[in-house]
Structure 1
């Protein structure tokens, strides 16, 4: 059995704790959080800091589900201690923080929707994509943006926290440098520093484009999808509430718990020097999506509409 330390006992940590409890070959030996927001099983020790936990339980795998302000430091400490680190997105909002360090090869970013059906083959075959469309439409009310989510510096914006799964997948399939960005960011409801809606067209060298339409004030059913337009005229749709159907039918989509199980297994394979799963997302590879997101926000036209009581 591989020993797992969970860093972060909030909303995301609770999802990992449930998934880890049902994952074959894994046992949770500790949780690190100075202020846990979930009730922990009585047989799992709670530590006030990840550094204390690393020394006490010597884990094989450290799953980091803490906010971006601390996630990268926790993962790097875990890697330095000899464990494999698995970081919940986005890990950090600062691309400059991802300048390579000696142990960064032991850290992966937790993009579980990238393990959806068919995406492993897609990432191996790498079809020529000429245009990608990222659609995100969810409802996040003002109460959601509290605590660490209140400031851009601590949490980033809609692209960091909500649309990064689809955007990062598109960028994995589209090489090239950023040549131009046209973007608009709309603040309508006064969600502290977070926008309601962001649209962007990103042109890459070679002429390929990424179109983003991401909003958190959507009144209908939530959706996060990616449409890929191929050079041969075909169109591929990565569908689901959060891409979880992959290239398959939404009705047959695996649960997020099953996707996390696949992700844990892939990371442990990498730790044991078995062939790297194509859906694994390395810490180093995260830098490019964050640089693109940074550029979108930097170049965007910002609209601040009057707040409405109905919102």
Structure 2
């Protein structure tokens, strides 16, 4: 196994790989990064592990069976394509690719080579998500009329200085889309799409996408966004997220039906079903790398997050590429907490707006929020 992008978030992958290496389930054959490999005390590099600064040189010399790709989003497609052509299966960090055309290109490479790609939406391996969809199938929620997610996080100034592509819409003419919907809170959107998949009994086919996007800094992408996806079949999906929250809200997915409402706090795997008085933790997450290894050993074991499953998410990103620049919020609407690189900007009243959007399935402009602008809308396909 090789890891491309061994620094930054790649150190998390090194910890996972290190444990599996020590257990004899794999052999770490190479680390790749354009910068010197940083030491990770929780997962030291095994003695003698080759390191590279160019993934192409690594593919030629090491010929790995599996490649984990944890590089900037706009580099995913060429690295993944080259890895599968070289004969490797891949675990590809989210967002996997940045538009439907890239998705189709990578899917074609997988089909031609017979390789597979797992996408790093690790929350899809949650036992809590399975418990929720099982409860829905058993009628605990009833006929589903709405699926929504809301999350309020905070990111300091340092977050947008972490890399040259941070907060950018494009780099060197290639899309990056490092916004709240596409990157840090992508899991919230993907969880909703997975639930919609369970409701409809098959892949989600978005017909239209409406989005309001805002920012509190001179960045090129959104740090606050409200999204509504209307699928061909099933209820609408609404996402209301921010990186400029007043108070921390880890991330909730709400499923509303005529028998009640279920709430899944996806980062903590806490689930509240209709008729229950308190949320309970549902332990157990299947690791995506372990699942990929199990699939390689026995192809009858299904992948948790195959590339095909993420096609609706990529359709959302395709729409975001065409959307206008996010609206800048400022003045008395935004306040600052802290100084220097750890300064955080917050939108006054944003948490309440997020709750209203998730509760009513309406976007801020439709709710009469004073600072809201009309949504941008993309029609992806006509009705059947």
- Asked if Structure 1 and Structure 2 have the same fold, meaning a TM-score greater than 0.5 normalized by the shorter chain, the answer is yes
Structure 1: give runs of 5+ residues left out of the alignment.
none
Partner of 1:187 in structure 2?
215
What does the per-residue CA deviation read over 1:83-140, in whole Å, with 9 as the maximum and x for residues that have no partner?
2100010022222111131425511101111112233455678746431111121111
1:21 aligns with 2:38: no
The residue matched to 1:137 in structure 2 has which SS?
Answer: strand
SS of residue matched to 1:89: coil
Structure 1: 4+ residue segments shifted above 6 A: 248-251
1:236-292 per-residue CA deviation (whole Å, 9 max, x = no partner) reads 22214x2x41548988566xxx85x721121112222333346x1111332221212
CA distance in 2, matches of 1:276, 1:208: 30
Partner residue of 1:283? 307
How many Å separate the matches in 1 of 2:109 and 2:195? 27
Q: CA deviation at 1:49?
A: 1.4
The worse-fitting range, judged by mean Cα deviation, of 124-133 and 178-187 is 124-133
> Within 5 Å, which residues of 2 pair with 1:145-156?
145-146=160-161, 147-152=164-169, 153-156=175-178
TM-score by length of 2: 0.69
Which of 142-151 and 114-123 deviates more?
Answer: 114-123
Helix, strand or coil at the partner of 1:221: strand
Contact 1:32–1:53 under 8 Å retained in 2: yes
2 CA distance for matches of 1:181 and 1:58?
41
The 3 A distance-change label for structure 1 pair 124 and 59 is: farther
Out of 139, 148, 151, which is 2:154 matched to?
139
Distance in 2 (alpha carbons) for counterparts of 1:182 and 1:115: 28
Q: Kindly tell me: are residues 34 and 180 of structure 1, through their superposed partners in 2, closer, same or farther at Cα, counting changes over 3 Å?
A: closer
Residue 173 (structure 1) aligns with: 195
CA distance in 1, matches of 2:222, 2:108: 33
Question: Residue by residue, what CA displacement relative to the aligned partner does 1:45-71 show, whole Å, maximum 9, x if unpaired?
Answer: 211111211232232221111111212
Query: 1:272 and 1:125 mapped to 2: Cα distance?
Result: 31
Match of 2:108 in 1: 101
1:304 equivalent to 2:328? Answer yes
Give the RMSD, CA atoms, in angstroms. 2.9
2:247 counterpart SS class: coil
Change (3 A) 1:238 1:276: farther
1:146-199 deviation line (CA, Å, top 9, x unaligned): 322241122432111022112112213325543444321112222x21222101
> Counterpart of 1:262?
287
Q: Distance in 1 between the 2:233 and 2:132 partners?
A: 21
Equivalent residues of 2:253, 2:265 under 8 A apart: yes
Q: Secondary structure at the match of 1:92?
A: coil
What CA distance in whole angstroms lies between the structure 1 residues aligned with 2:193 and 2:125?
Answer: 16
Distance 1:124 1:5, change over 3 A: farther
Between the aligned partners of 2:179 and 2:269, the Cα distance in structure 1 is: 25
Mark the runs of 5 or more structure 2 residues left unpaired by the alignment. 138-142, 170-174, 273-277, 337-344, 346-384
CA distance in 1, matches of 2:259, 2:296: 39
Structure 1 distance, partners of 2:150, 2:265, is 10
- CA pair 59-37 structure 1, distance change in 2 beyond 3 A: closer
Distance 1:166 1:309 in 2: 26
1:113 aligns with 2:139: no
Q: Helix, strand or coil for the counterpart of 1:161?
A: coil
